Structures are given as structure tokens and as C-alpha cells.
Amino acid sequence: MILTNCAACAVPLPHPAKQCSRCKTRYCGPACQEQHWKAGTHDQLCRKIKKGGGAEQYHANKKCKEAVAVAVEACRGRHEGQKCYICLEAVHPRTGEGLVRGCACGDRDGVSSPELGVAHVSCLADQAKILVAEAEDNNLDGKVQNERFNRWHTCGLCEQRHHGVVSCALGWACWKTYLGRPENDWRRMNAMTVLGNGLHDGNDPEGALPVREATLSTYRRLGVSAEASLIVQGNLAGTYQALGRLEEALRIRRDVYSARLRLDGEEDGETIREANNYAMSLMDLQRYQGGKSLLRRQIPVARRVLGDGSEITLSMRWMYATALINTGGATLDNLREGVTTLEEIEGIARRVLGSTHPTAVALGVSLEQSRAVLAARETPRGVGVEDDDDDEDGWETVSSEEAPTEAISS
């Protein structure tokens, strides 16, 4: 995580905080700093941390190396005999790391090409860093610079976001690249968001929480635009949701969605994203009627503006199908509509995202669960009598997992 806690007692730190004069490790006060040194905990690392560029840089480098190792291990055995499409080597010549793939390359649109998109995390990071630096050096406009920065989280070949532990490793690589810039530098602020999203994608909400809280605190302190602040608030709500703090997440997502409607209107991409997130919070609290009402209004908008292959559109339709199946008193027609919808979007997800993408995999599980629920209701109970009453006893709840819809601030 970003070093937002005292190195000795782990309490949240003010900004700015007391620092070690040599390596800049931060403490909540002189007492903790003295205790940390007397215990020998810091004395053993101080010179090494200073040599590594200071506490923040040393920590980020260490966490990035660990995250890359986790990503390589998770992909081990999938890319035997293949080479990185960037450096054309099987083993990275500088770091010695192995290959990964965390996008839709090689497994989408019904075609399996396992060699596509295989790379080293370090090569993906170097590529993104070079593209951003070129845009900066050539004074390209903000739109182009943002598009270049997106390579830190989105594959340049299939144009799908990296997911899982690969996203987490790239998040740390991005943060260690830009953390030394001034606090108000847009690249540093974006890097904090990329890191928070990466930790979230890597299923580490505890790690994502202090990063996203620090990001929001920084944005508020610097007085950034309302639009950028809304993105950060929405991301923080996602972490609350992952940690089970559902009511807190719902309040933030309701407020962010309402603000988006006022600022941008119903058909803006970010408004649609926040409608999806708000519906997700309602679903997590099993407020299916409210979720269905919101989704009925928003799904046609999402399909028209974003298209059927968008992850946000898929997420909305998935949640609506789940609400149809899980709402108390659902009829057989509700169940059949829910199953039909899941069958359609599961096929779309496999074609667009690839069959190994977390959303496609989870949709497949949800589809099988829903088919089982429907089959149980369609099977007659007793002698030739089909039970089509509204009794919920024996129902199996069908899950709708969160699709990766976190945004990057501009």
C-alpha cells in the first residue's frame, strides 16, 4: 500500500508527518520514531531504504517485485514455449521474470490463439512508460496523453483491461514509476488510481482501501475537478463493497450517480457506469425491486450508447437477470427470462472478453446455477402437477459478481 500509516504503530498519518531525516520513513510523532529506532527495526533498513530512493520508492519497488512474482506464478504453465510479443524473449533479459497474460488476447471471438498477448509485466510497463513520456516530450494534447496513459491498465492489442493479478502487478509498476513526481502532477494522481484499481482487481480490498482513501484525501486537498473527485469516490465505494461495508458503499454510489446525472446527463458513459455501480450496491443488499427499477431504465441506454459487448452492459443485464430469478414470488416466466438473458450474455462475454476472463467465468457459474433453479421449478411435484406457486422455500440464490468497472481519472 501507499505509506499512509506510521511505520511504528500503524495509525493513519496526517499530511505532512514526521519523517526520518535520512530515508524519509514517516511517523506519527517523535515518540514512535524514537521507539522504532531503539527497537532496531528501522536502523537495519535505513541505509538500504535511502539507497533505494526513499521510503515510498523502496516500498513500491519491493511490492512491485512481489506482485510480478505472484502474476508469473499464477500464469505458470500456460505459456510454455512462447515468447513475449514485445521483447521476443521467453525470460526477461533484465529481471529474469516469466510470462503473463491478463487480457482477452488469444481467447476471444471463438478463436483460440494462445501466443497472442503474452508478455512480461516489465515489458508492458516499459511500453506504457515510453508512450506516456513521448506524449509529454512532444506536448501532445491532453486527450492523447490520457489515451497513452491507459496502456498502464488496458492491453494495446485487444483493447481490454488487464485483470486479476496482472492488473495488480501493473498497478504497482505504474505507482513506482510516477510516485516521485509532485503531488499535483496528473500522472502521479492517475498512478494512485491505477494502483488502487489493481489491488481491487487482484482481490486485495484491504490493500486497496488505504490507497483509495489516500487518493480521495489528496484530491480534496488539491481541489481537483468535481468529475475527477466523483471517480475516486466511486472507486472507494467499490472497496467498501468488497469489504462488506454495504450501506456505506450504497450511500456513496447513490450520491455519485445523482451527481453524474446532474453534471453529464443520462447518456454519458460515466453516468451509465455509476448507474451500474449503484444497481450493484442495491443488489448486494438484496433490494431487488429497487435494482430492477433502475436497471429497466438504464439497460436500453447502455445498449444504445456502449453496445452489447461492453462490460458495463453485460454487468447490468447480468444483474437484471439475477434480480428476476432471486426476487421473492418470481414466476416461471421470470425464471425463463432470466435464464435466457444469462445464456445470451454469457456467450457475448466469451466472444468479447475471452473464456478465461473473470467475468466470463463467473457468468458461466451464474448460468449453471440459474438453470438448476429453473429446472427445479419446472419439475412437477407429486403426480403430474407442476408447482408454479410463489413459495420461495428451497430456492438457491444465484450470484451476480461485480464486473471490473472501476474508472481512471483524467
Distance between CA atoms of residues 373 and 370, nearest Å: 5
Q: Which amino acid is at 301?
A: V
Distance between CA atoms of residues 72 and 126, nearest Å: 17
Contacts of 202 (CB under 8 A, 6+ apart): 67, 70, 164, 165, 167, 168, 171
26 DSSP 8-state letter: E
Q: Where are the alpha helices (DSSP H) in 285-331?
A: 288-305, 311-326
Distance of CA 188 to the CA centre of its chain: 18
353: left (phi over 0), alpha (psi -120 to 50) or beta: alpha
Q: Which amino acid is at 396?
A: E
Domains of the chain, each with CATH number or no CATH: 1-51 (no CATH), 55-180 (no CATH), 226-410 (1.25.40.10)
Residue 4 has a pLDDT of 61
Residue 396 has a pLDDT of 42
pTM for the predicted model, two decimal places: 0.80
Torsion sign, CA atoms 150, 153, 156, 157: negative
Cα–Cα separations (whole angstroms), residue 332 to 113, 275, 384, 389: 41, 28, 17, 9
Angle at 36 between CA 30 and CA 41, to 5 degrees: 160
Quote the cell numbers at residue 189: 494522481
- What is the residue-wise DSSP string for 156-213? TTT--B--HHHHHHHHHHHHHHHTTS-TT-HHHHHHHHHHHHHHHHTT-HHHHHHHHH
Per-residue three-class SS string for 54-103:
CHHHHHHHHHHHHHHHHHHHHCCCCCCCCCCCCCCCCCCCCCCCCCECCC
Closest by CA to 101, choosing from 194, 1, 112, is 112
Contacts of 53 (CB under 8 A, 6+ apart): 61, 180
Element (H, E) at 224: none
Closest by CA to 23, choosing from 39, 45, 2, is 45
Closest by CA to 318, choosing from 360, 374, 371, is 360
Distance between CA atoms of residues 21 and 96, nearest Å: 35
153 DSSP 8-state letter: T
Question: What averages of pLDDT result for each successive group of 10 residues across the chain (410 residues)?
Answer: 60 72 79 77 77 84 96 91 94 95 75 76 97 93 93 93 96 96 93 96 94 91 89 95 96 97 94 96 93 95 96 96 87 94 95 88 94 88 47 42 44
Closest by CA to 207, choosing from 60, 100, 69, 315, is 60
Quote the cell numbers at residue 58: 523502496
Q: Helix, strand or coil for residue 143?
A: helix
Element (H, E) at 279: helix 269-284
Residue 2 has a pLDDT of 54
Distance between CA atoms of residues 9 and 17, nearest Å: 14
Answer whether 166's CB lies under 8 Å from 202's CB.
Answer: no
